[in-house]
């Protein structure tokens, strides 16, 4: 199979030419002004291709930075930027490790802001379904072209005065081929340059040849972060009132303003690799999903690859890097957050991880829960909003390392902290950003241009009640319904508060790049493709609690017992029984040897009242939120579930 992923290698680019012209912000003189008038501190403008130059010049004219730095992504450059950040007091070295840093953000800029994340299309229905009866849409936010123009005009002109503009050319897969798509990102915050080096691949040479006319090098997406400063906290510029993360999928553009937090400003991640890419995937017939990818090898040495979609901060990184507790099993990591998947000419679904690093949630990560992540982050890692010890280490809730005598902790807010204090030492959404290559269990094929063959897809979420440890969908359509009906307790990854159980279809609710009803049609259409081998679909829930509020299942490495059953089901083993919600492991089919006491009956119980209520909630949500865009196949699945639950 020849380079299956040629067409979906992508990057994030701001086409200011399109952007400024489309928003009538074109600064006269772009074409006449000499390039030399721009102060270029690093790199050579003349060597850039015409559209890249235009991107730089028009962006500079619009935002008026003091000078321009064209990044090349080299180690030397990275070190220079780190030294500058340290001098400016924006980051601090964690002296116990090699090249590890701590950044503290403005405490108002700590998570994705879904309320300020919008998609711009001509028609609202191209972005979101129109909810029934004027209800508020929960499946994304649409902004009209006119409002967007106004929003841009309010924010961008002159917003970089006195600052450097960076130009970062990158792509999201290491292999360059003649159809590779590249792009540009122009972050204002140097902090973002160093996190970009981690998360994306540099493509400085290739971007020289970017051209509008050459289809092989279409500029595919765009992004820019411009930040204005009100009152600087922690030397972290941001503008929470004016934050806007805007996507124009028709032009493959992203325009982000006001937040430096990863999910809002690392534009190659959620903005491009999910929102814009899901739209490209729909147009081109593949899937861009919020999924980890792992390889699992059984004791006989046979290997399978599985993709899994859980909402943010529900353990994707832990599962992707798991050390199985079952003897003889091995898990290898392909990616922990995003999967781009496409059927190959043999009908197999193949996946790549478009990222080059991990941007993982720190609290809860420990040698017990994720030893491979702990080993990954001991060097070359940027930490954001974790706590630090006076001997130069990182620290957070759930790190499971007792503090030796004499060791003191400074919280993410820069205050002295001690165990037992009311507030956490690390922000619950504090992060580590580390190169994937440092993970000791990266899969040998994690950068293969052909991707890895996916045999199973797992959906899951935090469900304290009613949802069993694992079940398997009856078939593809039912599996698509299981993804549609996904719900999970809110986490700190976005601005939602409290432990409310939210609907989060496919774990994509914050990341859909187009109308969810059409996204469902796209998933359903996979079944009608000629000669494809559809993966089996499963649902897991590691988070069910007993009546005292304790987790019923130990999780982490013990989840290998569930993967073992899934592995055998993928092999066609008859080890399941049918229930109203799907197939569950037959008695004795889960390997529980050496597990200790777990109330399996409770873990797999299906309380009738719970499922009656669940059906009602799903119906209300789908009828209200997806309304006339709900595919009839999904209504039929809902009715079938309702009937089965009635007979329970």
Is 270 annotated as catalytic?
Answer: yes
Catalytic choice (186, 256, 312, 448):
312
**Cα-based distances in Å from 257 to 82, 261, 268, 376:** 23, 11, 15, 31
* Backbone dihedral region for residue 507 (phi beyond 0: left; psi -120 to 50: alpha; all else: beta): left
Nearer Cβ to ligand OXD (4/273)? 273
Residues 6+ apart with CB under 8 A from 314: 460, 461, 462, 488, 491, 507, 543
Q: Which does 582 bind (CB under 5 to 8 A by kind): ligand OXD, Mn ion, none?
A: none
The Cα–Cα gap between 567 and 550 comes to 28
With CB atoms as reference, the residue minimizing the distance to ligand OXD is 312
State the binding partner of 304 from Mn ion, ligand OXD, none, CB within 5 to 8 A by kind.
Answer: none
Of 270, 310, 306, nearest in space to 486 by CA: 310
Q: Which does 513 bind (CB under 5 to 8 A by kind): ligand OXD, Mn ion, none?
A: none
Q: Is 263 in the site for ligand OXD (CB under 6 A)?
A: yes
Q: Identify whether 427 is a catalytic site residue.
A: no
How far is residue 256's CA from residue 369's CA, in Å, rounded to a whole number? 34
Number of residues that bind Mn ion (CB under 5 A): 2
Q: x/- binding map, residues 499-538, to Mn ion, per CB under 5 A?
A: ----------------------------------------
Q: Which is nearer to ligand OXD, 316 or 477 (CB)?
A: 316
Residue 481: which of Mn ion, ligand OXD, none does it interact with, CB under 5 to 8 A by kind? none
Q: Which of 290, 304, 463, 561 is catalytic?
A: 290
Integer Cα distance of 543 and 532 in angstroms? 34
The helix (run of H) or strand (run of E) holding residue 146 is helix 145-155
The phi, psi pair for 149, rounded to 5°, reads -60, -45
112 is catalytic: yes
Catalytic residue among 270, 503, 522, 569: 270
**What is d(CA 434, CA 193) in angstroms, rounded to the nearest whole number?**
13
Q: In the complex, what is the shortest distance from the CB of residue 337 to Mn ion, in angstroms, rounded to a whole number?
A: 4
Q: Looking at beta carbons only, is 253 or 337 nearer to Mn ion?
A: 337
- According to the binding rule CB under 5 A, does residue 337 interact with Mn ion? yes
Check if the beta carbon of residue 382 is closer than 8 Å to that of residue 194. yes
Residue 493 touching ligand OXD (CB under 6 A): yes
Minimum distance of Mn ion from residue 18's CB (angstroms): 28
Residue 121 or residue 488: which is nearer to Mn ion going by CB? 488
- d(C-alpha 193, C-alpha 178), whole Å: 26
Residue 241: how many other CB atoms lie within 10 Å: 9
Using CB under 6 A, which residues numbered 347 to 366 contact ligand OXD? 359
User: Is there a contact between 381 and 101 (Cβ–Cβ < 8 Å)?
Assistant: yes
Q: Does 112 bind ligand OXD (CB under 6 A)?
A: yes
The answer to whether 462 contacts ligand OXD (rule: CB under 6 A) is no
C-beta neighbour count of 89 within 10 angstroms = 10
Q: Which of 171, 182, 431, 536 is catalytic?
A: 431
Catalytic residue flag (residue 166): no
Rounded Cα gap, residues 265 and 177, in angstroms: 27
At closest approach, how far in Å is the CB of 637 from ligand OXD?
27
Options 314, 333, 433, 439, the catalytic residue: 314
Indicate the burial class of 567 (C-beta count within 10 angstroms; 0-12, 13-18, 19 or more): buried
| Nearer Cβ to ligand OXD (476/516) | 516
Residues β-bridged to residue 515: none
Q: Closest CB to Mn ion among 148 and 358?
A: 358
Using CA atoms, how far residue 308 sits from 459, 499, 555, in Å, is 6, 23, 15
Per CB under 6 A, 337 contacts ligand OXD: yes
Distance in angstroms (rounded) separating the CA atoms of residues 543 and 266: 30
Residue 257, sorted as left (phi over 0), alpha (psi -120 to 50) or beta, turns out to be: beta
Rule CB under 5 A: say whether 312 interacts with Mn ion: yes
Active site residue 290: yes
Using the rule CB under 5 A, give the single segment among 34-42, 335-343, 426-434, 565-573 that binds Mn ion: 335-343
Chain position whose Cβ is nearest to Mn ion = 337
Give residues in contact with Mn ion (CB under 5 A). 312, 337
Query: Looking at the annotation, which residues are catalytic?
Result: 112, 261, 270, 290, 312, 314, 337, 431
Positions touching ligand OXD (CB under 6 A) are 112, 263, 312, 337, 359, 493
């Amino acid at each position: 199979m020849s380079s299956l992923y040629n067409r979906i290698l992508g990057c994030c680019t701001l086409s200011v030419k399109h952007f400024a012209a489309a928003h009538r912000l074109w600064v006269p003189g772009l074409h006449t002004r000499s390039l030399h008038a721009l102060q270029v501190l690093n790199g050579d403008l003349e060597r850039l291709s015409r559209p890249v130059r235009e991107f730089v010049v028009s962006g500079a004219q619009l935002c008026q930075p003091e000078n321009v730095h064209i990044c090349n992504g080299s180690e030397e450059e990275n070190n220079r930027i780190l030294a500058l950040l340290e001098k400016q007091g924006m980051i601090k070295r964690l002296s116990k490790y090699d090249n590890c840093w701590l950044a503290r953000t403005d405490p108002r800029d700590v998570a994705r802001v879904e309320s300020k994340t919008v998609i711009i299309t001509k028609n609202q229905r191209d972005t979101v379904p129109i909810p029934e009866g004027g209800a508020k849409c929960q499946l994304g936010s649409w902004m009209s072209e006119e409002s967007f123009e106004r929003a841009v005009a309010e924010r961008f002109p002159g917003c970089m005065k006195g600052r450097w503009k960076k130009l970062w050319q990158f792509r999201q897969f290491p292999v360059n081929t003649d159809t590779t798509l590249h792009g540009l990102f122009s972050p204002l915050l140097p902090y973002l340059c160093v996190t970009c080096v981690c998360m994306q691949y540099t493509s400085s040479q290739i971007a020289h040849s970017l051209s509008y006319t050459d289809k092989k090098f279409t500029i595919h997406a765009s992004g820019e972060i411009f930040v204005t400063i009100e009152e600087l906290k922690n030397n972290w510029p941001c503008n929470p009132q004016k934050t806007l993360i805007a996507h124009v999928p028709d032009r493959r553009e992203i325009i982000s303003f006001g937040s430096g937090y990863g999910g809002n400003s690392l534009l190659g991640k959620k903005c491009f690799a999910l929102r814009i890419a899901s739209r490209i995937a729909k147009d081109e017939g593949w899937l861009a999903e919020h999924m980890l990818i792992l390889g699992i090898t059984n004791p006989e040495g046979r290997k399978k690859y599985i993709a899994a979609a859980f909402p943010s901060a529900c353990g994707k990184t832990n599962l992707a890097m798991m050390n199985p507790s079952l003897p003889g099993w091995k898990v290898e990591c392909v990616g922990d957050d995003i999967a781009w998947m496409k059927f190959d000419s043999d009908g197999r679904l193949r996946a790549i991880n478009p990222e080059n690093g991990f941007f993982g949630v720190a609290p809860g990560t420990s040698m017990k829960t994720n030893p491979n992540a702990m080993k990954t982050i001991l060097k070359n890692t940027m930490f954001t909003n974790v706590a630090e010890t006076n001997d130069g280490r990182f620290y957070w809730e759930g790190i499971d390392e007792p503090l030796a005598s004499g060791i003191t902790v400074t919280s993410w807010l820069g205050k002295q902290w001690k165990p037992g204090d009311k507030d956490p030492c690390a922000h619950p959404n504090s992060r580590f950003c580390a190169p994937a290559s440092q993970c000791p269990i990266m899969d040998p094929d994690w950068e293969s241009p052909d991707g890895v063959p996916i045999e199973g897809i797992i959906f899951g979420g935090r469900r304290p009640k009613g949802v069993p440890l694992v079940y398997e969908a009856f078939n593809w359509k039912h599996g698509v319904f299981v993804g549609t009906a996904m719900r999970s307790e809110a986490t700190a990854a976005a601005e939602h508060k409290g432990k409310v159980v939210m609907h989060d279809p496919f774990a994509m609710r914050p990341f859909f790049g187009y109308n969810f009803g059409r996204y469902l049609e796209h998933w359903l259409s996979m079944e009608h493709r000629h000669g494809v081998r559809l993966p089996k679909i499963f649902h897991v829930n590691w988070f069910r609690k007993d009546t005292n509020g304790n987790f019923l299942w130990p999780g982490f490495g013990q989840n290998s017992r569930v993967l073992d059953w899934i592995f055998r089901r993928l092999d066609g083993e008859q080890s399941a029984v049918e229930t109203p919600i799907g197939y569950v492991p037959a008695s004795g089919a889960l390997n529980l040897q050496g597990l200790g006491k777990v109330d399996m009956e409770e873990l797999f119980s299906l309380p009738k009242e719970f499922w009656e209520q669940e059906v009602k909630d799903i119906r209300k949500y789908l009828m209200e939120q997806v309304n006339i865009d709900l595919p009839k196949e999904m209504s039929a699945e809902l009715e079938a579930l309702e009937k089965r639950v009635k007979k329970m």
